[in-house]
A = this chain, B = another copy of it.
Amino acid sequence: MEKDIVLSKIKGGLTDDFVAPGMHLLIDFWGCANMQDEQGIGQALRRAAADAGATVLDVHLHSFGEQSGVTGVATLAESHISIHTWPEIDYVALDVFVCGSCNAYKALDALVEYFKPARQQLTAHERGVPNATEARATA
């Protein structure tokens, strides 16, 4: 499972039992499905947020037209999940930023299952911690 490889690599780059004020994952997907389905993307963001243990305040998405992508964000009580799709270059940019007791990594399953990327890259950033650890993994 590519996802599992990514997760284990990312976690290996940070400390065990990692706790930070906020964890921010930058997620790049290439070779994706479902990049233009505004309703489906909204549902995937809501599921990702729920899986992370977050509370959705609202979801706003914009479609740029039939041959173009979708951009938007799920605003969370615990920060946000953003989405920008570029079907023109077969690329999806996501970021998952959650604080408190949420787990950003748990948002990944829903996003991978929805977009089915052929290739993915993650960088993980502690937020609110000066000179915090960062980690990257590719699969």
Chain A interface residues toward B at CB < 8 A = 21-22, 24, 26, 28, 30, 57-58, 60, 62, 64, 71-73, 75-77, 79-80, 82, 84, 86, 89, 91, 93, 95, 97, 99, 119, 121, 123, 125, 127-128, 130-131, 134, 138
Contact = CB atoms under 8 A, between A and B. Distances in A.
Contact of A125 (B26, B58, B86, B138): B26
Q: Ordered nearest first, which 4 A-B pairs have the shortest CB separation?
A: A73-B73, A93-B127, A91-B128, A79-B84
A137 to B, nearest CB: 11
Secondary structure class of chain A's binding surface, majority of residues: strand
Copies in the complex: 2
Contacts of A57: 62, 71
A51 to B, nearest CB: 20
A131 B138 contact: yes
Contacts of A130: 28, 30, 119, 121, 138
B128 A21 contact: no
